[in-house]
Amino acid sequence: MSMNNQGRPSQATMTQDNELPTISGDRGLDLEARLIFELGRDGVTGVDFPDVKVDDSRLHGLRRKAAIGLPGLSEPEVIRHYVRLSRQNYAIDAGLYPLGSCTMKHNPRLNEKMARLPGFGDLHPLAPSVATQGALALIQELMRWLTTLTGMPAVAMSPKAGAHGELCGLLAIRAAVQARGEHRNRILVPESAHGTNPATAAFAGFVVDEVPAKPDGRVDADALKAKLGPDVAAIMLTNPNTCGLFEGEIIGIAKAVHEAGAYFYCDGANFNAIAGRVRPGDLGIDAMHINLHKTFSTPHGGGGPGAGPVVLSERLKDFAPLPLLVADGEGFKLIEDRAELPAGAKPFGRMCAFHGQMGMFVRALSYMLSHGRDGVRQASEDAVLSANYILASLKDIMSAPFGDGPCMHEALFDDTFLEGTEITTLDFAKAMIDEGYHPMTMYFPLVVHGAMLIEPTESESKESLDRFAAVLRGLAEDAKAGRKERFEGAPHYAPRRRLDETAAARKPILRWKPSALPEAA
């Protein structure tokens, strides 16, 4: 007991005024944060620098005339602002975060520490190669882990996220098709695919042709094979797919694709279900991006940064983009110029400046070394086991469209169990927020009505999974019993109630503007 209430113990009495609005707008530990632009004032700074005068002689007459308009704050004010903001976020560190397809698993702090070693975090990308041998050796070692785990001969490291990796893979395919003197402009994409797949195919200049799913949630292999032809450059298939199911006919599909002269792109977003057990190279895949921020747990950071290295088959490896990492007698070297290419290399171009997401590489390798091959395999198995456990715990009360067989790392439900309740998937998800959980992925994949895609990951204890299942069961029971008050208008206990997204889109306000001042000229 602290000094302040010594001798004056409080009583746990309850009054009826707990909905009383507060004077401050804050409510106990629920602290509001004004905009930083509403807090600052002129002449204050959180960083001390001397006021150095400079003359204009080297500024080409382009010295800034107008003020920028940034607010001034001291360090304590800045820290308080961001700490207050942080408390309005849900996080995997705080609770189960079952976003299917997004893979919210534990982010080990060792990996953060390793990425901040000055030899990595404070290393310039264009420092001479004598100064960067350790970094290049680390990339080489990560490449070895990635190619070994996938059973593929090569990997392009520079893509900065999954969608960027998709683009890299499709550009390699495009270059390979061109190198054969062919014109193939069609890409087959299952209708259950991530939105990035068709977007990337279109971005890379291809025509997208959708392939339907079968009633069992797998791609219709016959329909896919029927669509193959001399104008098909590639198929893009996610495996395990977005319904959380393994595409059992994948080897036959790959064979047909190759016989038709096309390439097999695999969306590797769900590699975390099979890593250490199945090698995509054995399935006939030609290119697959690996989301280091999913499978290898580099933190999602509120929407990035990610990293999306792309493993490539024998048929595609020569087309990998610049830069290339090679080892010679003297050590490692980055090939950044076409004049220095190793034999056979025909890079399609460059994905970005420099050589990729080194900070993520360090974290991913730290994760891999920590897990080892046995830990990687165990993590995949636990992820699959946990998803099946959730499926088994809830399929009697929530509707699982493909619940007859085992799933992979995600348990998929639809909204059939809510029929007649006037409660939607959205309502159900928002009610989970009141229970202290982040909602699952909803309304994706598109092939299932009112989809709820739950990915518990390997990071949850059995007790945590039991509790989560019990809460969802309780919600499903309440929904079926017509207790709509739990769902309508939920969440009730979050920092905000439901937000008006329609108004936000109709009249977009995308930045703060000083209200008292006229528009800056």
Partner 1 sequence: MRYLPLTANDRRAMLAKIGAPDIDALFRDVPKEAVVPLSAFDLSETKGEMEVERILAKLASRNMAAGAGPFFCGAGAYKHHVPSAVDHLIQRSEFLTSYTPYQPEISQGTLQVLFEFQTQVALLTGMEVANASLYDGSTGTAEAVLMAQRLTRRSKAILSGGLHPHYAETVETVAGLSGQVHRSPVTPGKAEDIAALIDADTACVVVQSPDVFGLIRDLKPIAEAAHAKGALLIAVVTEVVSLGLLESPGAQGADIVACEGQSIGNGLNFGGPYVGLFAAREKFLRQMPGRLCGETVDAAGKRGFVLTLSTREQHIRREKATSNICTNSGLCALAFSIHLSLLGEEGLTRLARINHAKAAALAERLSKLKGVELVTPSFFNEFTLKLSKPAAGVVDALAAKHVLGGVPASRLMPHEASARDLLIVAATETNIDEDFASFEQALGEVLA
Footprint (CB under 8 A) of partner 1, residues 53-92: 53-54, 58-73, 75, 78-79, 81-83, 85-92
Is the CB of residue 285 less than 8 Å from the CB of residue 269? no
- Is there binding between residue 494 and partner 1 (CB under 8 A)? yes
**Applying CB under 8 A, which part among 195-203, 228-236, 311-319, 415-423 lies near partner 1?**
195-203
- Residue 164 CB, nearest distance to partner 1 (Å)? 7
Among residue numbers 235 through 274, which ones bind partner 1 (CB under 8 A)? 245-246, 248, 250-251, 274
Residue 8 or 496: the one with the smaller Cβ distance to partner 1 is 496
- Is there binding between residue 433 and partner 1 (CB under 8 A)? yes
- Is there binding between residue 110 and partner 1 (CB under 8 A)? yes
- Is there binding between residue 148 and partner 1 (CB under 8 A)? yes
Residue from 7, 9, 50, 344 binding partner 1 (CB under 8 A):
50
Residue 301 or 481: the one with the smaller Cβ distance to partner 1 is 301
213 DSSP assignment: B
Give the integer Cα–Cα distance in Å for 310 and 260. 23
Angle, to 10 degrees, between the axis of helix 196-203 and the axis of helix 162-179? 40
Q: What are phi and psi of 23, to 5 degrees?
A: -70, -40
- Residue 192 CB, nearest distance to partner 1 (Å)? 12
- Is there binding between residue 467 and partner 1 (CB under 8 A)? no
- Is there binding between residue 161 and partner 1 (CB under 8 A)? yes
Residue 8 or 19: the one with the smaller Cβ distance to partner 1 is 19
Give the integer Cα–Cα distance in Å for 10 and 80. 29
Q: How many residues bind partner 1 (CB under 8 A)?
A: 208
Residue 369 or 471: the one with the smaller Cβ distance to partner 1 is 369
Residue from 242, 270, 295, 388 binding partner 1 (CB under 8 A):
388
Is the CB of residue 200 less than 8 Å from the CB of residue 165? no
Pull the structure tokens for residue 335. Answer: 């090939």
Residue from 22, 26, 27, 45 binding partner 1 (CB under 8 A):
45
Give the integer Cα–Cα distance in Å for 94 and 380. 22
* Residue 322 CB partners (closer than 8 Å, separation 6+): 335, 336, 337, 338, 347, 349, 350
**Applying CB under 8 A, which part among 3-11, 176-184, 226-234, 293-301 lies near partner 1?**
293-301
Residue 311 or 384: the one with the smaller Cβ distance to partner 1 is 384
- Residue 371 CB, nearest distance to partner 1 (Å)? 6
20 DSSP assignment: P
Residue from 100, 143, 145, 264 binding partner 1 (CB under 8 A):
145
**Residue of 116, 132, 113, 114 whose CA lies nearest to 124:** 132
* Residue 175 CB partners (closer than 8 Å, separation 6+): 319, 346, 348
Among residue numbers 125 through 144, which ones bind partner 1 (CB under 8 A)? 125-128, 130-135, 137-138, 141, 144
Give the integer Cα–Cα distance in Å for 154 and 286. 10
- Residue 6 CB, nearest distance to partner 1 (Å)? 33
- Residue 230 CB, nearest distance to partner 1 (Å)? 21
* Residue 293 CB partners (closer than 8 Å, separation 6+): 161, 299, 300, 304, 305, 306, 307, 360
**Residue of 431, 402, 400 whose CA lies nearest to 413:** 400
Residue 43 or 344: the one with the smaller Cβ distance to partner 1 is 43
